[in-house]
Amino acid sequence: DLGNSNLVGQLVPDLGKLEHLQYLELYKNDIQGTIPAELGNLKNLISLDLYNNNISGSIPPALGKIKSLVFLRLNNNKLSGRIPRELAEVSGLKVVDVSNNNLCGTIPTTGSFEHIPLNNFENNPRLEGPELLGLASYDTNC
């Protein structure tokens, strides 16, 4: 847990090699850049807390490969793009918070997202939803 530790810099792809890592707590720092897709290799990860940083880019669909994931907090960053549908397939995912970003598209409502409160998606000006009957109305500007 390195939350609130005045860390500055970027997440490196090599973090994906920490195969036994269960908790990656880097909230309330000044981490910039993108979330490496290699984090999808963290097969034992239970919690990924990157909230309150300056992370940009999109949420990697590869995070959907982490079947052990329970907590995903990416709120209060500068993330853009869609919420990957692969995340809804992580059956044990209980907490997802992507509020206060610049995400777009529609909010998933299937799978593990079925019970996620809508306020965990708020303050994303271009995010619409929830999608109806699992059919996303894809915005070409997203």
129-140 pLDDT, tens per residue?
775 444 445 555
Q: What is the reported pTM?
A: 0.92
| Inside any domain, residue 133 | no
Span 3-24, pLDDT tens digits: 999 999 999 999 999 999 999 9
| Inside any domain, residue 137 | no
Give the pLDDT confidence score for residue 29 in this predicted structure. Answer: 98
Span 91-101, pLDDT tens digits: 999 999 999 99
Residue 86 belongs to domain spanning = 8-128
In the predicted structure, residue 81 carries a pLDDT above the cut 50: yes
Task: Look at the chain and report how many structural domains it folds into.
Answer: 1
Residue 109 vs residues 9, 49, 53, 89: alpha-carbon distances, Å: 34, 22, 26, 11
* Mean pLDDT over each residue of the chain, to the nearest integer: 93
In the predicted structure, residue 141 carries a pLDDT above the cut 90: no
| Inside any domain, residue 2 | no
Closest of 52, 9, 2, 5 to residue 33, by C-alpha:
9
CATH of the domain at 62: 3.80.10.10
Closest of 91, 41, 52 to residue 69, by C-alpha:
91
